Amino acid sequence: MKSLKALFAGLALSALAVPALLAGTAAAADYKAEYKLSTVLGKPFPWGVGGDRWAELIKEKTQGRIVVKMYPGTSLVNGDQTKEFTALRQGTIDMAIGSTINWSPQVKELNLFSLPFLMPDHKALDALTQGEVGKKLFDLLSTKDVVPLAWGENGFREISNSKHAIKAPEDLKGLKIRVVGSPLYLDTFTALGANPTQMSWADAQPALSTGAVDGQENPLTIFVAAKLATLGQKHLTLWGYVADPLVFVVSKEVWNSWSKEDQEAVRAAAVQAAAEEVALSRKGITADDDSLLKSIADQGVDVVRLTADQQKAFQAATKPVFDKWTKQIGPDLVKSAETAIAAGR
C-alpha cells in the first residue's frame, strides 16, 4: 500500500515538473542563437580585447545559454561610429562596448568627458566613472532603451602630427587634425587654430599615410597598435586634454528577454571584463610603468610632456569652449564632476 502511495506521489510530482521543464525549454528557445556585440576596435586594441573577453565570460557564466559574437569596426552600422547608439536602440545591435564620444550626439551629457582639460589624470577619471557622476550617467542611459553595466576605458587622448612638436596653442595653427564626429571636438580644435577634419577611424589611417591629414588625437594604446609612427606621426604631445570612457551595455529589449539568473551573469561578466580592459588600457603609461612610452620613443617619435604652465596655456585657449559646452551638458552635472575631482586630489 505504501509503495502504491509512493508511486502515485512520484507520478504527481513528475506531472508538476513537466510544465516547469517545458516552460524552461520554452524560455531557452526564446533566446537567440547568437547575440551581436558592436565595438569600434577589435584585437589587439584593449577595446577589442575587452569585447572578446566579455563574450567569453558570458558564455562561461551562462553555461553556454548566451552566445555572443563581436563585430569590430562598427561593421553593423557600416563603420559609422556615431550611428551605433541609435542602432542599439532600434534593435540592429544587441550589445555594445561604446565610446562616450561616439554616443554623445544622442546623449549630450556624455560630452562631459570631452570637456577640454576637465580631468587631469586617471584618478580624476575614476572619481567620475566610479562615483556619483557615473551612477547619474548610468541612470540617464537606462532611460534610453539600454542597460548600462560597467565602465571600460579607451584612455586619455594625446595628440600627434607629422610636421613639428606641439608645445603651445600656436603650434596647432593650420594643422589638419583628424577628429571624431563630435561638434565639441570641432569647436576645441578650431579654438586652438587647427583645421579639424571629421572622419571615421577606418578612413583616418590611409589619410595619415598619404598626408591628407597632418595629425590625430587618440589614446597611446591606439597609437602603438595602429603603428602610427609608421604613418608619419613622428611628433607626439602628452597633454591629456580629454579621456574616453567606454560603456558596456545591452539593449533593454534583449536584456528583458533573459532570465534574472542570466542577467546577473552577463552583468558580472561585464564588470570583470571591464576591469581587465581598463588595466590593459593603462599598461605601460603610468608613473610606475612607462614601458609603452619608451617603446614609442624608440620608434623615433619625439615625445613632448607639457609642463603645468604649458598646459595652462591650452586650458586658457579652450576655456570659451568649456563654458559653451557646460551649458549644453548641464551646469549641475559639470559642477558635480568638478567637485568629485577636487575631492579626490
pLDDT at 25: 41
The closest of 36, 16, 61 to 273, measured between CA atoms, is: 61
Whether the predicted pLDDT of 312 surpasses 80: yes
pLDDT at 181: 78
Mean pLDDT along residues 269-284: 97
pLDDT digits (tens, 9 = 90+) for 3-47: 445 444 444 444 444 444 444 444 555 899 999 999 999 999 999
Least confident of 25-34, 143-152, 256-265, 295-304: 25-34
pLDDT band of residue 189 (cuts 50, 70, 90) is: very high
Higher per-residue pLDDT: 221 or 1:
221
Instruction: Tell how strand 146-156 and strand 243-251 pair up.
Output: antiparallel
Distance between CA atoms of residues 184 and 114, nearest Å: 7
Distance between CA atoms of residues 246 and 273, nearest Å: 12
pLDDT at 14: 46
Residues of the chain above pLDDT 90, percent: 86
Whether the predicted pLDDT of 149 surpasses 50: yes
Instruction: Tell how strand 95-99 and strand 35-38 pair up.
Output: parallel
Whether the predicted pLDDT of 118 surpasses 70: yes
pLDDT at 13: 45
pLDDT at 201: 83
Place of cell 612638436: 165
CB 128 within 8 Å of CB 69: no
pLDDT at 236: 98
Q: What is the dihedral of CA 174, 180, 184, 189, to 10 degrees?
A: -10
pLDDT at 200: 84
pLDDT at 18: 44
Q: Which domains does the chain have, with CATH numbers?
A: 32-154+245-282 (3.40.190.170), 158-242+287-340 (3.40.190.170)
Length of the chain equals 345
Whether the predicted pLDDT of 115 surpasses 80: yes
pLDDT at 4: 46
pLDDT at 28: 56
Cα distances (angstroms) measured from residue 155 to each of 94, 279, 289: 25, 11, 16
Distance between CA atoms of residues 77 and 86, nearest Å: 10
pLDDT at 15: 45
Mean pLDDT along residues 231-235: 97
